[in-house]
Amino acid sequence: MTASPSEPDVRAEPYDLAVVGAGSAGLSGAVTASELGLSVALLDTSSQTGGQFYRHPAPALGAVRPEALHHDWSAFSDLRRRLTASGTAHLPGHHVWSMVREADGTWTVHAVTGADGSGERPVRIRARALLLATGAYERQLPFPGWTLPGVVGAGGAQAMLKSGLVLPGRRIVVAGSGPLLLAVATSLAAAGARVPAVVEAAGYLRYARSPRALVTNPGKAAEALLHGAGLLRHRVPVRVRSAVTEVHGTDRVEAVTVTRLDNDWRPVPGTGRRITCDALAVGHGLVPQIELATTVGCTTRRLPDGTLGLALDDLQETSEPGLWAAGETGGVGGAELARTEGELAARAIAARLLGRGCGEGRTGELRRRRDRMRAFAEVMAAAHAPGPGWQDWLTDDTDVCRCEEVSAGRVREAVADLGARDARTVKLLTRAGMGWCQGRMCGTAVACLAARDGAAEPPSERRPFAVPVRLSTLAALDGDPAEPADPRPDAS
């Protein structure tokens, strides 16, 4: 059942567990915890469950077969059915901007409501334990022309198709790095788009260096074969060790230049080839969304692709007692891994709060499955990690920070002439990363440019607010922010 944020009732007692994020990991954790006897609140920014992976059209669009655009839809259907049958308080349209550990050990989660977080009043949820399942966002590496209309994120193109049943163009080049590209290209081609090429900056040979991870995860090989068959059926060529190094057009995308790369991702002179298209779907992997956790001091670890994920123990608990995490927050690994980690975390939380075991045999099975899939995720991250030579794509007038219109030349000037040695100093000197996205789009690029020839430090992902918050919301903290009613059937 769903609570309306406008209801005046206030829940006096804290929930046993608050889950932030209703994607694969969050749904799995919420329904498992509820079935084990915990009172659970499930908060999510979207009006529908499923997260980015199981994004689907609103009922008003009248989609006859929304499952046609998804892999493993039955797993999501099962989680959605279990959620409906459980006593979980599902709170859609809740944008969590902060969380605080209170003196008594409980947690307070602060959120704003509405489609874009502009609801009339703030919401406060109290819980004895927290499970973060906030997912990830796309990593973008800039290149000349990437701000032209018609350039969209690879995941964004897939989201447009899954939720809106629309295409970003009719002739779409898919480019970047990572296995998401294959899924995106297959979906676009199946929906009727012409895909002239899938352009992969890395290659697939690095997977062969870890045969154990491949053998113990046959499902991943099956997925690759499925996408490969789809691309073959639609006659979509895959170009590896190549990248889109420039976009051409005036009012929107008209063509792209695809260039061969060396082993460090530097463009090979004389190999550029122009491909006509009216849209480009591009992305260079995913970045764990961990700012809520880092703000309260959770320890992170550097992942093989250069991003930061949360450091978790064997039962998914962070370095902060009472705060667990599951899914992409610990490293990108796909929906099946996320569901496994969500259930594992929920069982650990229930055992802690109830003071008894919650299926030790099942917990051991989940841990083994998690370790097997996590090992493959590490191999995948290493295989598609950006090489340092991608910076050679950039001309001095290429915008790096789109929000503040900071060019690569200005960043380079801050480093070469003004003495900047890290992304924070570049930010102070140029405003790169101070815009609406708070560095989510440009953080990686700025950090790499600031590092010169050294290893770039991943963006810290530490922000006082995870989403934009109005001053009126902060002022209301001195009062008594509204809390949603308890929607469970047995609530008084």
> Which candidate, 448, 432, 97, places its Cα nearest to that of 265?
448
Higher-pLDDT residue of 2 and 388 is 388
Residue 116: pLDDT band (50, 70, 90) is: low
**Matching fold, domains 15-137+287-358 and 140-284+386-393:** yes
pLDDT at residue 4, as a whole number: 42
Contact 455, 57 (CB under 8 A): no
The three-class DSSP label of residue 132 is strand
Domain ranges of the chain: 15-137+287-358, 140-284+386-393, 394-477
CB atoms within 10 A of CB 252: 13
Size of the chain, expressed as the number of residues it contains: 492
pLDDT at residue 208, as a whole number: 83
pLDDT digits (tens, 9 = 90+) for 151-168: 999 999 999 998 888 999
pLDDT at residue 488, as a whole number: 44
For residue 2, pLDDT over 60 is answered with no
Q: Of the given ranges (256-260, 265-269, 413-417), which has the lowest mean pLDDT? A: 413-417
For residue 489, pLDDT over 60 is answered with no
Mean pLDDT of the chain: 88
Percent of the chain with pLDDT over 70: 90
pLDDT at residue 215, as a whole number: 87
CB atoms within 10 A of CB 436: 10
The pairing of strands 136-138 and 172-177 is unpaired
pLDDT at residue 391, as a whole number: 92
Cα dihedral sign, 446-404-392-333: positive
pLDDT digits (tens, 9 = 90+) for 382-423: 999 999 999 999 999 999 999 999 999 999 999 998 988 888
pLDDT at residue 443, as a whole number: 86
Residue 482: pLDDT band (50, 70, 90) is: low
pLDDT digits (tens, 9 = 90+) for 214-223: 888 888 888 8
Q: What is the mean pLDDT of residues 51-77?
A: 78
In this structure, what are the phi and psi dihedrals at residue 319, rounded to the nearest 5 degrees? -70, -15
pLDDT at residue 3, as a whole number: 46
Domain 140-284+386-393 has CATH 2.60.40.1120: no
- The second-level CATH assignment, the architecture, of 15-137+287-358 is 3-Layer(bba) Sandwich (3.50)
For residue 359, pLDDT over 90 is answered with no
For residue 484, pLDDT over 60 is answered with no
Homologous superfamily in CATH for domain 394-477? BFD-like [2Fe-2S]-binding domain (1.10.10.1100)
Higher-pLDDT residue of 27 and 119 is 27
Residue 454: pLDDT band (50, 70, 90) is: low
Nearest-10 Cα torsion for 404, 408, 409, 413: 90
pLDDT digits (tens, 9 = 90+) for 393-404: 999 999 999 999
d(CA 291, CA 413): 29
